[in-house]
Structure formats: C-alpha cells, structure tokens
Amino acid sequence: MTDTRRRVKVYTLNEDRQWDDRGTGHVSSGYVERLKGTSLLVRAESDGSLLLESKINPNTAYQKQQDTLIVWSEAENYDLALSFQEKAGCDEIWEKICQVTVPLTLSCVQTCCKVCQ
C-alpha cells in the first residue's frame, strides 16, 4: 500500500493569478548539496521525475493554510503551493520548514508547532 501522508499536488501561481497544477507526487525533505541547504523535493507519482526542488529559506514567509496547504514565494511573482492529501503529511513537512525558519530554541520550536496546529 502506498504511503499517502506525503502525497501532494504542486501548484504555481500564473500571471493571471490563477493556480496551475504542476503535477502530483510525494514530498520529502533533506539536505541538497548543490543548494547548500535543507530542501523540499517532490517526485512525480507517475514516473519519479523531479517536480520540485526548493531550498527552505529562513527568510521566506511560509504559510500553512487550513490543514493541508503550504504556500510561499520563491521570487517576486513566483508563488508555490503544496496541497497535501492528508493533514499528517502537511504537519510533518511544516515541522521540517519550522526547523529551518525558526531558531532552534525550545520556546521557538514550541511556538512554531503551535502555529502549525
């Protein structure tokens, strides 16, 4: 049985301010040497190709919306969204983002985790 917790759809915001579906896949996080940092990776469900490789930037304002959506801007006029099939997967990836974007003191981690609930 396939693990659906981290199953996502990747969206980008087009110039008409409409969300374009870039594909469905499974998201993971890990250190990417070429990007010199912890990154979000989405591999396509259909063929395993890379749909998204995005370094988690401490200066980026990531937003968790509802229980299953994470949105952010990578550059001016380049907005991205991950729409999760399950809340648990969204929570897992949100915690990974928090580990990079929030200083790792106990109070900050607790604050971040309260935000994601």
pLDDT of 5-51, one tens digit each?
Answer: 799 999 999 989 999 999 999 999 999 999 999 999 999 999 999 99
In this structure, the chain runs to a length of 117
Sheet holding 50-55, edge to edge: 50-55, 37-44, 19-32, 7-13, 78-84, 69-75, 63-65
Predicted model pTM? 0.83
- Distance CA(37)–CA(19), nearest Å, equals 27
pLDDT of 107-116, one tens digit each?
Answer: 444 445 544 4
Task: Check residue 23 and give left, alpha or beta (phi > 0: left; psi -120 to 50: alpha).
Answer: left
